[in-house]
Structure 1
Protein backbone atom coordinates (compact mmCIF):
# COMPACT_ATOMS: atom_id res chain seq x y z
CA UNK A 1 0.00 0.00 0.00
CA UNK A 2 1.38 3.39 -1.01
CA UNK A 3 0.96 6.41 1.24
CA UNK A 4 -0.18 9.02 -1.27
CA UNK A 5 -1.19 11.54 1.41
CA UNK A 6 2.48 12.44 1.96
CA UNK A 7 2.70 13.27 -1.75
CA UNK A 8 -0.43 15.45 -1.77
CA UNK A 9 -0.50 19.12 -0.86
CA UNK A 10 -3.68 20.94 0.08
CA UNK A 11 -3.63 24.21 -1.80
CA UNK A 12 -6.92 25.68 -0.53
CA UNK A 13 -9.87 24.79 1.66
CA UNK A 14 -13.12 26.74 1.85
CA UNK A 15 -16.74 26.15 2.75
CA UNK A 16 -19.30 26.10 -0.04
CA UNK A 17 -22.64 27.33 1.28
CA UNK A 18 -25.69 26.16 -0.64
CA UNK A 19 -28.61 28.57 -0.28
CA UNK A 20 -32.09 28.99 -1.77
CA UNK A 21 -31.35 32.54 -3.02
CA UNK A 22 -27.65 33.15 -3.69
CA UNK A 23 -27.92 36.82 -4.74
CA UNK A 24 -29.80 37.60 -1.50
CA UNK A 25 -27.29 35.55 0.53
CA UNK A 26 -24.36 37.41 -1.02
CA UNK A 27 -26.04 40.72 -0.13
CA UNK A 28 -26.55 39.45 3.45
CA UNK A 29 -22.92 38.32 3.83
CA UNK A 30 -21.74 41.62 2.35
CA UNK A 31 -23.86 43.74 4.73
CA UNK A 32 -23.51 41.61 7.88
CA UNK A 33 -19.95 40.32 7.57
CA UNK A 34 -18.25 42.78 5.24
CA UNK A 35 -17.80 40.12 2.56
CA UNK A 36 -16.26 41.11 -0.75
CA UNK A 37 -17.39 39.26 -3.85
CA UNK A 38 -14.35 38.00 -5.77
CA UNK A 39 -15.98 36.03 -8.56
CA UNK A 40 -19.42 34.88 -9.73
CA UNK A 41 -20.49 32.32 -12.32
CA UNK A 42 -24.05 31.64 -13.42
CA UNK A 43 -25.75 28.87 -15.32
CA UNK A 44 -27.88 29.39 -18.43
CA UNK A 45 -30.91 30.04 -16.23
CA UNK A 46 -29.09 32.87 -14.38
CA UNK A 47 -28.78 30.93 -11.13
CA UNK A 48 -25.46 31.22 -9.33
CA UNK A 49 -23.41 28.04 -9.65
CA UNK A 50 -20.41 29.52 -7.82
CA UNK A 51 -19.61 32.83 -6.17
CA UNK A 52 -16.45 33.31 -4.13
CA UNK A 53 -16.53 35.80 -1.24
CA UNK A 54 -13.64 37.10 0.83
CA UNK A 55 -14.23 37.56 4.57
CA UNK A 56 -11.07 39.04 6.06
CA UNK A 57 -8.28 36.61 5.24
CA UNK A 58 -10.65 33.74 4.40
CA UNK A 59 -12.96 32.83 1.56
CA UNK A 60 -16.29 31.06 1.28
CA UNK A 61 -18.28 30.07 -1.77
CA UNK A 62 -22.02 30.50 -2.21
CA UNK A 63 -24.29 28.82 -4.74
CA UNK A 64 -27.98 28.43 -5.45
CA UNK A 65 -29.53 25.17 -4.32
CA UNK A 66 -30.48 22.65 -6.98
CA UNK A 67 -31.41 18.98 -7.22
CA UNK A 68 -27.80 17.92 -6.65
CA UNK A 69 -26.95 20.42 -3.92
CA UNK A 70 -29.73 20.96 -1.37
CA UNK A 71 -29.95 23.94 1.00
CA UNK A 72 -30.03 23.28 4.77
CA UNK A 73 -33.80 23.80 5.13
CA UNK A 74 -34.53 20.92 2.74
CA UNK A 75 -32.37 18.66 4.94
CA UNK A 76 -33.89 19.71 8.26
CA UNK A 77 -30.98 22.04 9.09
CA UNK A 78 -27.21 22.10 8.87
CA UNK A 79 -24.85 20.05 11.05
CA UNK A 80 -21.93 22.32 10.08
CA UNK A 81 -21.02 25.42 12.11
CA UNK A 82 -18.95 28.14 10.51
CA UNK A 83 -16.57 29.54 13.17
CA UNK A 84 -15.85 33.22 12.60
CA UNK A 85 -13.30 35.05 14.74
CA UNK A 86 -13.94 38.79 14.71
CA UNK A 87 -12.77 41.91 16.50
CA UNK A 88 -16.25 42.73 17.90
CA UNK A 89 -18.63 39.79 18.34
CA UNK A 90 -21.49 41.99 19.55
CA UNK A 91 -21.31 44.27 16.50
CA UNK A 92 -21.17 41.35 14.05
CA UNK A 93 -24.07 39.60 15.78
CA UNK A 94 -26.14 42.81 15.65
CA UNK A 95 -25.39 43.24 11.93
CA UNK A 96 -26.42 39.64 11.28
CA UNK A 97 -29.63 40.09 13.28
CA UNK A 98 -30.48 43.25 11.32
CA UNK A 99 -30.12 41.18 8.16
CA UNK A 100 -32.52 38.48 9.34
CA UNK A 101 -30.35 36.05 11.30
CA UNK A 102 -31.70 34.43 14.47
CA UNK A 103 -30.01 33.73 17.79
CA UNK A 104 -29.18 30.11 18.62
CA UNK A 105 -26.98 31.04 21.62
CA UNK A 106 -26.68 34.71 22.62
CA UNK A 107 -23.32 36.45 22.58
CA UNK A 108 -21.80 36.24 26.06
CA UNK A 109 -18.44 35.83 27.79
CA UNK A 110 -17.37 32.18 27.58
CA UNK A 111 -15.21 30.17 29.99
CA UNK A 112 -12.59 29.52 27.30
CA UNK A 113 -11.59 33.17 26.97
CA UNK A 114 -13.89 34.14 24.13
CA UNK A 115 -16.92 36.40 23.89
CA UNK A 116 -19.25 34.82 21.44
CA UNK A 117 -22.48 33.19 20.48
CA UNK A 118 -24.14 31.26 17.70
CA UNK A 119 -26.51 32.57 15.06
CA UNK A 120 -28.40 31.02 12.18
CA UNK A 121 -28.32 33.10 9.03
CA UNK A 122 -31.54 33.54 7.01
CA UNK A 123 -30.43 30.69 4.71
CA UNK A 124 -30.05 28.00 7.40
CA UNK A 125 -26.29 28.13 7.93
CA UNK A 126 -24.94 28.29 11.48
CA UNK A 127 -22.26 30.78 12.51
CA UNK A 128 -20.27 30.78 15.75
CA UNK A 129 -19.17 34.39 16.18
CA UNK A 130 -16.35 34.97 18.69
CA UNK A 131 -13.69 37.38 19.79
CA UNK A 132 -10.79 36.75 22.15
CA UNK A 133 -11.17 38.47 25.51
CA UNK A 134 -8.53 36.49 27.46
CA UNK A 135 -5.32 34.86 26.30
CA UNK A 136 -5.40 31.44 27.94
CA UNK A 137 -3.14 28.42 27.66
CA UNK A 138 -4.61 25.13 26.50
CA UNK A 139 -4.24 23.85 30.06
CA UNK A 140 -6.23 26.79 31.45
CA UNK A 141 -8.96 26.25 28.88
CA UNK A 142 -9.13 22.53 29.72
CA UNK A 143 -9.31 23.26 33.46
CA UNK A 144 -12.14 25.76 32.90
CA UNK A 145 -13.92 23.31 30.61
CA UNK A 146 -13.65 20.61 33.28
CA UNK A 147 -15.16 23.02 35.81
CA UNK A 148 -17.95 24.03 33.44
CA UNK A 149 -19.03 20.41 32.93
CA UNK A 150 -18.96 19.36 36.60
Structure 2
Protein backbone atom coordinates (compact mmCIF):
# COMPACT_ATOMS: atom_id res chain seq x y z
CA UNK A 1 0.00 0.00 0.00
CA UNK A 2 1.42 3.36 -1.00
CA UNK A 3 1.77 6.34 1.30
CA UNK A 4 -1.01 8.07 -0.66
CA UNK A 5 -3.37 5.17 0.04
CA UNK A 6 -2.58 5.37 3.77
CA UNK A 7 -2.84 9.15 3.87
CA UNK A 8 -5.99 10.26 5.72
CA UNK A 9 -6.15 13.35 3.49
CA UNK A 10 -7.34 11.14 0.61
CA UNK A 11 -11.12 10.83 0.80
CA UNK A 12 -12.91 7.55 0.42
CA UNK A 13 -16.09 8.51 -1.49
CA UNK A 14 -19.04 6.15 -1.42
CA UNK A 15 -19.16 3.68 -4.29
CA UNK A 16 -22.66 3.87 -5.78
CA UNK A 17 -24.31 1.09 -7.73
CA UNK A 18 -24.28 -2.68 -7.63
CA UNK A 19 -22.09 -2.98 -10.72
CA UNK A 20 -19.40 -0.35 -11.17
CA UNK A 21 -17.62 0.01 -14.53
CA UNK A 22 -13.89 0.68 -14.37
CA UNK A 23 -12.65 2.04 -17.69
CA UNK A 24 -9.07 2.29 -18.81
CA UNK A 25 -8.83 5.10 -21.36
CA UNK A 26 -6.01 7.02 -22.99
CA UNK A 27 -6.31 10.30 -21.11
CA UNK A 28 -8.33 9.58 -17.96
CA UNK A 29 -8.16 13.22 -16.84
CA UNK A 30 -9.51 14.41 -20.19
CA UNK A 31 -12.17 11.69 -20.11
CA UNK A 32 -13.29 12.89 -16.67
CA UNK A 33 -13.65 16.42 -18.02
CA UNK A 34 -15.55 15.14 -21.06
CA UNK A 35 -17.93 13.01 -18.97
CA UNK A 36 -18.70 16.07 -16.82
CA UNK A 37 -19.68 18.05 -19.94
CA UNK A 38 -21.41 15.23 -21.81
CA UNK A 39 -23.14 13.30 -19.03
CA UNK A 40 -23.19 15.63 -16.03
CA UNK A 41 -20.57 13.57 -14.17
CA UNK A 42 -19.16 14.80 -10.89
CA UNK A 43 -15.59 13.92 -10.03
CA UNK A 44 -15.38 12.85 -6.38
CA UNK A 45 -11.77 11.66 -6.23
CA UNK A 46 -8.60 11.61 -8.32
CA UNK A 47 -5.14 10.36 -7.55
CA UNK A 48 -2.55 12.92 -8.64
CA UNK A 49 -1.04 12.48 -12.09
CA UNK A 50 2.44 10.99 -12.34
CA UNK A 51 5.44 12.44 -14.16
CA UNK A 52 4.04 11.07 -17.45
CA UNK A 53 0.65 12.75 -16.97
CA UNK A 54 -1.17 9.52 -16.09
CA UNK A 55 -3.47 8.85 -13.18
CA UNK A 56 -4.18 5.43 -11.76
CA UNK A 57 -7.65 6.26 -10.46
CA UNK A 58 -10.50 8.74 -10.91
CA UNK A 59 -13.88 8.20 -9.28
CA UNK A 60 -16.93 9.84 -10.85
CA UNK A 61 -20.63 9.91 -10.08
CA UNK A 62 -22.75 9.69 -13.22
CA UNK A 63 -26.54 9.58 -13.08
CA UNK A 64 -26.55 8.15 -9.54
CA UNK A 65 -23.82 5.54 -10.09
CA UNK A 66 -20.05 5.36 -9.75
CA UNK A 67 -17.75 5.20 -12.76
CA UNK A 68 -14.03 4.60 -12.30
CA UNK A 69 -11.30 5.63 -14.76
CA UNK A 70 -7.59 5.11 -15.12
CA UNK A 71 -4.91 5.62 -17.70
CA UNK A 72 -3.11 2.62 -19.18
CA UNK A 73 0.08 1.49 -17.47
CA UNK A 74 1.78 -0.84 -19.97
CA UNK A 75 4.95 -0.71 -17.86
CA UNK A 76 2.94 -2.45 -15.10
CA UNK A 77 1.18 -4.97 -17.34
CA UNK A 78 -1.88 -2.86 -18.20
CA UNK A 79 -1.58 -1.74 -21.83
CA UNK A 80 -4.31 0.23 -23.56
CA UNK A 81 -6.86 -1.93 -25.33
CA UNK A 82 -9.61 -0.70 -27.64
CA UNK A 83 -13.03 -0.75 -25.93
CA UNK A 84 -15.20 -3.42 -27.51
CA UNK A 85 -18.25 -5.62 -27.08
CA UNK A 86 -19.98 -3.50 -24.41
CA UNK A 87 -21.79 -0.25 -23.92
CA UNK A 88 -22.62 1.82 -20.88
CA UNK A 89 -26.36 2.45 -20.70
CA UNK A 90 -27.75 5.54 -19.03
CA UNK A 91 -31.35 5.13 -17.86
CA UNK A 92 -32.58 8.72 -17.96
CA UNK A 93 -35.56 11.01 -17.83
CA UNK A 94 -35.67 13.88 -20.34
CA UNK A 95 -33.59 11.90 -22.82
CA UNK A 96 -33.61 14.66 -25.44
CA UNK A 97 -31.78 17.00 -23.04
CA UNK A 98 -29.27 14.29 -22.04
CA UNK A 99 -28.70 13.37 -25.69
CA UNK A 100 -28.17 16.93 -26.90
CA UNK A 101 -25.75 17.70 -24.07
CA UNK A 102 -23.62 14.67 -25.03
CA UNK A 103 -23.69 15.52 -28.74
CA UNK A 104 -22.83 19.17 -28.02
CA UNK A 105 -19.87 17.99 -25.89
CA UNK A 106 -18.49 15.98 -28.82
CA UNK A 107 -20.02 12.50 -28.65
CA UNK A 108 -20.55 10.88 -32.05
CA UNK A 109 -23.97 9.47 -32.92
CA UNK A 110 -23.84 5.73 -33.64
CA UNK A 111 -27.57 4.94 -33.50
CA UNK A 112 -29.85 7.98 -33.68
CA UNK A 113 -32.26 8.54 -30.83
CA UNK A 114 -35.56 6.85 -31.72
CA UNK A 115 -38.67 5.09 -30.43
CA UNK A 116 -37.94 1.39 -30.01
CA UNK A 117 -40.12 -1.71 -30.09
CA UNK A 118 -39.60 -2.32 -26.34
CA UNK A 119 -41.44 0.89 -25.51
CA UNK A 120 -38.58 3.30 -24.91
CA UNK A 121 -36.65 6.07 -26.65
CA UNK A 122 -33.12 4.82 -27.20
CA UNK A 123 -29.92 5.77 -28.98
CA UNK A 124 -26.17 5.12 -28.94
CA UNK A 125 -23.19 7.47 -28.91
CA UNK A 126 -19.41 6.98 -28.96
CA UNK A 127 -17.24 9.21 -26.83
CA UNK A 128 -13.83 10.55 -27.98
CA UNK A 129 -12.12 7.76 -26.00
CA UNK A 130 -13.83 4.97 -27.96
CA UNK A 131 -16.42 4.01 -25.35
CA UNK A 132 -19.93 3.26 -26.59
CA UNK A 133 -22.75 4.78 -24.54
CA UNK A 134 -26.47 4.23 -24.89
CA UNK A 135 -29.36 6.19 -23.47
CA UNK A 136 -32.73 4.69 -22.68
CA UNK A 137 -35.92 6.37 -21.47
CA UNK A 138 -38.98 4.15 -20.95
CA UNK A 139 -42.20 5.70 -22.19
Aligned length: 119
5+ residue gaps, structure 1, are 1-10, 134-150
The answer to whether residue 110 in structure 2 is matched with residue 101 in structure 1 is: no
The alignment status of 1:115 with 2:125, answered yes or no, reads: no
Q: Secondary structure at the match of 1:48?
A: coil
TM-score (norm 2): 0.78
Which has the larger Rg? 1
Q: Is 1:32 paired with 2:46?
A: no
Q: What corresponds to 1:70 in structure 2?
A: 80
Superposed CA deviations along residues 80-99 of structure 1, whole A, max 9, x for unmatched, are 11111011222222111112
Secondary structure of 2:56's counterpart equals strand
Q: CA deviation at 1:70?
A: 1.3
The two structures, once aligned, show a CA RMSD in angstroms of 1.7
- Residue 42 of structure 1 aligns to a residue whose secondary structure is coil
Displacement after TM superposition at 1:59 (Å) = 0.6
- Aligned-pair distance for 1:66? 2.9
In the alignment, the residues of structure 2 paired with residue 92 and residue 69 of structure 1 have an alpha-carbon distance, to the nearest angstrom, of 32
| Greater share of residues in helix | 1
Aligned residue number for residue 3 of structure 1: none
Query: Residue 16 of structure 1 corresponds to which residue in structure 2?
Result: 22
**Aligned equivalents of 1:89, 1:62: Cα separation in 2:** 25
8 Å contact 1:20–1:71 — kept in the other structure? Answer: no
